[in-house]
Amino acid sequence: MWRSVTSSDRSAGRANRSVREGRRTPALAVRLGAPLLGALLFVVGTASPAAARVFLNVDEALEMAFPGCTVDRGTVFLTEEQVARASELAGETIGSALVHPYQATCDDAPGGTAYFDTHRVRTLPETLMVVVDPHGAVRRIEILSFKEPPEYIPREIWYDQFTGEPLGPELELKRSIRQVTGATLTARATTNAVRRVLATHQVIEELSAASATAADDGD
């Protein structure tokens, strides 16, 4: 099933843009108890709602990533073989066969795909949005919620180094991705999440290409 999220559907998020732009400065951006909407790609653990630092909900994050675009939420059920392939590509186990890609169309052209990944940092979870461009590289990363102490969040410039990175052996800490003093666990969790998303996206794209080929052969 697909759901269309238009710009007007997300207009309420624009009023809080000044807050969202400071999302990685927790003293300025934290909105405790704000709702986290939509399905998540991988879910790990729980924590007290009062402890959650929620910076964005799903609609706000999509509005930031795809302003003025139409976003369709998909549902994909991977087979065991596809999960195994994604896990091999990612270099770690993919925890769910159920995936929700959010595909954007901007000016009648593909605008990229967003995925939401929830994972454990140290003992508590965070949720990231990872946007993949039409060529399979990282376009953007946003923090939606972070339940560890705020000092474990790297600076904005650290996240920027993922931009333009495809899935490959260099997408690792101490290679193309620098470590962060005092936030090593967050850096590792983020890098692993990006690898999971890119690997899953690649498998979904392979599945789509195979389906298109089969449909053409049937004509």
Query: And the tokens for 134?
Result: 């039409």
Measure the CA–CA gap between 211 and 215, rounded to whole angstroms: 6
DSSP secondary structure of 171-214: SSBTTTB---TT-HHHHHHHHHHHHHHHHHHHHHHHHHHHHHHH
Query: And the tokens for 13?
Result: 């998020």
Query: And the tokens for 206?
Result: 């392979």
Measure the CA–CA gap between 118 and 77, rounded to whole angstroms: 18
Tell me the average pLDDT across 106-115. 97
| pLDDT score at 213 | 67
| pLDDT score at 53 | 87
What does the domain layout of the chain look like in residue ranges?
3-17+24-214
| pLDDT score at 81 | 96
Residue 118, beta-bridge partner list = 127
Strand boundaries in the chain, DSSP class E = 3-5, 53-54, 70-73, 76-77, 98-99, 102-106, 109-120, 125-132, 138-146
Measure the CA–CA gap between 192 and 178, rounded to whole angstroms: 13
Residue 136 clears pLDDT 80, i.e. is over it: yes
159-173 pLDDT, tens digit each:
999 999 999 999 999
Residues of the chain above pLDDT 90, percent: 68
What is the 8-class DSSP label of residue 131? E
| pLDDT score at 7 | 38
| pLDDT score at 216 | 59
Distances (CA, A) of 39 to 73, 75, 138: 9, 10, 20
Query: Residue 184: CB partners within 8 Å, gap ≥ 6?
Result: none
- The backbone torsions φ and ψ at residue 127, rounded to the nearest 5 degrees and listed phi first, read -125, 130
- The pLDDT confidence band at residue 183, using thresholds 50, 70 and 90, is very high
Measure the CA–CA gap between 60 and 9, rounded to whole angstroms: 10
Nearest CA to 56 out of 22, 83, 87 is that of: 22
Average pLDDT, the chain: 80
Residue 104, beta-bridge partner list = 71, 112
Global pTM exceeds 0.85 = no
Between 37-41, 49-53, 184-188, the lowest mean confidence (pLDDT) is in 37-41
Higher pLDDT among residues 219 and 95, named by residue: 95
Residue 31 clears pLDDT 70, i.e. is over it: no
